[in-house]
Structure 1
Amino acid sequence: MAEETMSTAEVTEALKDLRTDLSKQITERTKAVENGATKEELKAYDERIKVLESVGEELKEAKEEIRALQLEAREKSAEKEKGLTLRGQIMKALTTGEEEIKSIANAKSGRVELKKAASIITTGNVGTGVILGMRESGINAAPFRQRFITDLIRTQNGGVGSDPLTWVEKKPKEGGPASVSESNTKPNMDWTYNEGKTTAETLAVYAAITRQQARNMQVLGETVAEELIPNLYDEMDYQVLLGDGAANAAGIGNNLKGIVQYCQAFTGAGLAGKVQAANQMDVLRAAILQARVGNKAATGYGRRTGYIPNAILVSPTVNALLDTYKNANDTYILPPFTTADGSKIKGIRVIENDFVADDQFIVGDFSKGLLNFVEGLSLQVGWVNDQMIKNQLTVLAELVASFRIKYHDQWAFVKGTFATATPLIQKAEAEA
C-alpha cells in the first residue's frame, strides 16, 4: 500500500493539502447556499466534504502508526545500547554520522588531517568553579534537639473553639470518716469546686526570600520550610518545659506557662537529713519519693496518695556523670535501685534534655501535662508591605496552642538543683 512507503513528513504535507481542499469545499458550499443552490447541488458538496474528512482520518491514523513504529525502533535501539560499556557508548557517539564527518573534512578516505597539534587538556582549561566534581544531594545543617512534647506529655487537637481550655477541680477542705460511739455526733467533711482555665498562645516565625532566588535555587523553598518548622517546634518544646507564662523578651506576646512553673521545690521528703554520703543518685531517689508522697501533708489530703513519676530529666553532662561513678578502687559502681546501665532509677527513665541546666533536675509524671492545639502547624506564603513590587516573598510558619497542668497534678512534679538538694538529704555527722 502507498501509506506504508510514506514518511511522517509526507503524511503531514498530505494532511495540509487535504485541509486546504476541505476548507475550500466548505466555503464553496456556504456560497452555494447563499446563491440558492438546489438540494442535489448541496448534496454533491456534502459528499465531497465527507470523502475529504474520511481521507483525513485515514491520514491521521497513518501518521500515528508511523510515529509508533519510529518510537518502537528508538526503544529497541536504546535497549541495545544499554549493554554497551562506557567506552563502547563513547565510541558509538564518535562514529555516528561518519559520512557527514567525511564531508566536512573534505577527505576522500574519511580521515581528518590535523594542521596543528592540540594542547593537552589540564585543570587550567576548566576554569575555577566552572566544572565541579560530584556534589552530594541535600544541604547539611546542625541537628535539632530531640523533641520533648511528643515523647512524654499528652497532646490533643482541640481545634477552633477550644480556647480557652477549661476544666473542673474538686479541692478537699477538711473532715472525713471516723468511727462513732453510740449517741455521738457523726463527723462531716466538705470540699469545693473550682474552675481551671488556660488560654492559647500563638507561636510563629517567618523568613523572606526573593522570587528570583526561589526560581534559581528550587530547593530553597523546601529548605526554608525545613528550617522554619523545626525551629518553631523547638521553641514550643522549650516553652512547654520552661515557659514562664509572662511576656516574652521581644515584648510581642506571652510565653506558655511551662512545667517548671508547676513543679514543687525539692524538699527531700522522708529522706531529708537521713542519707549518708549523699550523692546525685540519692537526690533523684528522694525526688521520686517526694512525688510519690504528693500533697498528703496538706489539710484534707491525708487520705490521698501521690504520683508515680515516669521520667527524670537531666542535662547530658549530668547523665554522663551518673555513668562514671567509681569507688576508691576506681571500679565503676551503681546503686542497687538502678538498672545495670544506669538508664533507669527505681524503674524510671533518665532522659537527657538540652533545656535542663547542668546542675538542675526535673522528676515527674509528665503524662499529667496536656498540650492542646487550637490551630495546628500552618505554612503561608505572601507579601508584606512593599514586597510585591520588590519581587520578594514571605514564608510564615505558625501554630496556636495552650498547655496546662491541673491544680492537683502539680505535686506530680519536683525540681531542684543538686547543689542545694544534696545537703538537704545529707545525714549530719555524729558529734564526737
Structure 2
Amino acid sequence: MAILNSKQLWQERNRLSEEQHKLVDDGKLDDARIIEGQIKQLDITLEHVIDEEDAIRRAPKTPQQKETFGLRILGPRDEFHGLEFGFKNAASVVTVGAPTEIELELDPKLPSLLNNFAATLQDAPAIGSVSYKQRSTQTGKPDTWGGVTNGNSATKAQVLYSWKDAVANKETIAGYVPVSKDTLADYDELMSIIENDLLIDLNEATDAKYLGGNNSTGIVGVLNTPGIQAYTNAVAGKYFDAIRKMRTKVMTTARRVPTHVCISPEVKEAIDLYKTETGLYQSLGDSVYWGMQVVEDENCHGILVYDSFAAKKRSIHGGTTVEVGYYNDQFIKNELSILAEHTKALQVRYPDAFCYAAKTDLDKSAAAGA
C-alpha cells in the first residue's frame, strides 16, 4: 500500500456521496445520516492530508529511480554476462538450490495478500542513527489571574511545554540464500528472485520491527515506543465503536488527525461479519473507517489508530544492498551465497499520535473489564 493521498480520499468521498444520494432517493434517511457522518470524518482527514502533502512538496526531494529494483541490480538484459564472485550492488536477491539442470521457469514467492503498516509511513534517507527532539507532555495551561488581594499579587498560571531527547537507532535486517554457480548466469532466474522472494521476506521482517520491534540498540517499534496512547476499554468485541473512540483520543490528546487504522486480520473479519439486529450484514465499506484508511496487517494483534505523518522510516546508506560470496565450505560445493540487507531506523516524532488497543482487551465484556 502506498502512503495515503488526497486523491484516494477524494475518490472515497465521491463514492460515499453517491451512496448517500441513493439512500435518500430510496427514502432511507437514517442510513443516509450515517453516511453523512462518515463523510464529515473523511473531510477532516482530507484537510489534514492536503496540508501534509503541501509540506512534503516544499521539502527537499531525493532523486527518483525509474528502473525496477531488479533492473538496478542486474542491468539491461542484453548487457548481462552473469554475476561474479565478490559482486556487490545496491538492491536485493534470492535463489534456488543447485539443480542438475537449470530450470528457466521458477514459481516466485507471492507477496502477502494483506497490506502492511510500514508501507504507510514516509521514508527519508539518513546517514546513521538519528538524534532528535520528541514531543513530550505539557504541564499546566493558561488560566485566570487572581489579581491583587490585600496588597498580594496572585501567581499567574505557568505553562510548560516539553521535548525529550530521542534516538532512532539504526538496525540492519539481512538474509542470505545459497545458490549454484549456474544460477549467477541465469538472468530470468535472478530477476525472479530479486523482484519477488528475498525482497518480500526482507520487507515483511522490517514491517514486523516497525510495529513491534524492541531492540535497545536498534529499532524500537511504535507499539513499544514510550508515550503512545493505549485504549484498554472492554467493549465486548465492538471494534468499530472502539476505532471511533480511539480516533477521538488521538485528535484531543495529540491534536493530530489520524489518517490510518491498522487492524489484525481477525478484527477485520469480525467487522466484515457483523450483523445488525435484523440479521443483515452491516455495510461499513472495505477500505475506509471513520475517515481513515484501513490497513490489515498480520503483525498487528489488535487496533492501531494513527497519523502516518507523525513518524518516519529512515533508510541508512541508501537502500537495500546485495552481495555474492562464499560461506563456510561452499567453495568446494560449487555454491555461493547471495546476501541481501538494508539498514533502517524508525523516528517517532509524536508518540501520542498513535493509539493502540490489544484485541484481548477489546474482547472483554464491560463487567470483566470493570
Asked if residue 209 in structure 1 is aligned to residue 179 in structure 2, the reply is yes
Structure 2 match to 1:283: 242
Question: TM-score, structure 2 length as denominator?
Answer: 0.60
Alignment counterpart, residue 304 of structure 2, candidates 353, 362, 370: 362
Q: Distance in 2 between matches of 1:347 and 1:153?
A: 18
Structure 2 match to 1:221: 190
Q: Distance in 2 between matches of 1:283 and 1:195?
A: 32
Q: Distance in 2 between matches of 1:170 and 1:317?
A: 33
- CA 1:365 to 1:238, structure 2 compared with 1: closer, same or farther past 3 Å? same
Q: Deviations over 1:382-408 (max 9, x none)?
A: 2334544543222111111111213xx
Alignment counterpart, residue 108 of structure 2, candidates 131, 141, 159: 141
Shift of 1:167: 1.3
Structure 2 match to 1:97: none
Q: Distance in 2 between matches of 1:235 and 1:288?
A: 28
Structure 2 match to 1:117: none
Shift of 1:381: 1.4
Give percent identity, aligned residues only: 19
Q: Deviations over 1:132-188 (max 9, x none)?
A: xxx9x8432342225535631111012x3xx22011246566444334325624524
Asked if residue 157 in structure 1 is aligned to residue 125 in structure 2, the reply is yes
Q: Distance in 1 between matches of 2:287 and 2:183?
A: 48
Structure 2 match to 1:346: 290
Structure 2 match to 1:168: 133
Asked if residue 307 in structure 1 is aligned to residue 274 in structure 2, the reply is no
Unaligned runs of 5+ in 2: 1-102
Q: Secondary structure at the match of 1:309?
A: coil
1:316-331 mapped onto 2 (5 Å cutoff):
316-331=265-280
- CA 1:148 to 1:280, structure 2 compared with 1: closer, same or farther past 3 Å? closer
Structure 1 match to 2:354: 413
Q: Distance in 1 between matches of 2:201 and 2:237?
A: 40
Q: Distance in 2 between matches of 1:413 and 1:378?
A: 31
Shift of 1:224: 3.8
Q: Which has the higher contact order (CA 8 A, sep 6+)?
A: 2
- CA 1:317 to 1:152, structure 2 compared with 1: closer, same or farther past 3 Å? same
Structure 1 match to 2:221: 258
Q: Secondary structure at the match of 1:221?
A: helix
Q: Deviations over 1:52-109 (max 9, x none)?
A: xxxxxxxxxxxxxxxxxxxxxxxxxxxxxxxxxxxxxxxxxxxxxxxxxxxxxxxxxx
Does the 8 Å CA contact 2:118/2:210 hold for their aligned counterparts?
no
Q: Distance in 2 between matches of 1:231 and 1:192?
A: 40
- CA 1:423 to 1:139, structure 2 compared with 1: closer, same or farther past 3 Å? same
Q: Secondary structure at the match of 1:330?
A: coil
Does the 8 Å CA contact 1:174/1:190 hold for their aligned counterparts?
yes
Unaligned runs of 5+ in 1: 1-134, 247-253, 295-304
Q: Distance in 1 between matches of 2:239 and 2:115?
A: 25
Q: Distance in 2 between matches of 1:168 and 1:363?
A: 23
Structure 1 match to 2:342: 399
Please tell me the residue identity of whatever aligns with 1:413: F
Q: Distance in 1 between matches of 2:174 and 2:239?
A: 38
Does the 8 Å CA contact 1:267/1:290 hold for their aligned counterparts?
no
Please tell me the residue identity of whatever aligns with 1:312: V
Shift of 1:219: 3.6
Structure 2 match to 1:241: 211
Deviates more, 1:393-402 or 1:169-178: 169-178
Does the 8 Å CA contact 1:278/1:425 hold for their aligned counterparts?
no
Alignment counterpart, residue 293 of structure 1, candidates 252, 265, 272: 252
Question: TM-score, structure 1 length as denominator?
Answer: 0.52
Shift of 1:244: 2.0
Q: Secondary structure at the match of 1:143?
A: coil
Q: Distance in 2 between matches of 1:173 and 1:322?
A: 36
Structure 1 match to 2:10: none
Does the 8 Å CA contact 1:283/1:425 hold for their aligned counterparts?
no
Q: Deviations over 1:258-314 (max 9, x none)?
A: 12113422145xxx8xx8x872221222222222222xxxxxxxxxx5332111112
Q: CA RMSD in A?
A: 3.2
Task: State the number of aligned residues.
Answer: 257
Please tell me the residue identity of whatever aligns with 2:263: V
Q: Distance in 2 between matches of 1:178 and 1:194?
A: 26
Q: Distance in 1 between matches of 2:268 and 2:307?
A: 19
- CA 1:342 to 1:191, structure 2 compared with 1: closer, same or farther past 3 Å? closer
Richer in strand (by share): 2
Name the larger-Rg structure. Answer: 1
Does the 8 Å CA contact 2:260/2:292 hold for their aligned counterparts?
yes
Please tell me the residue identity of whatever aligns with 2:202: L
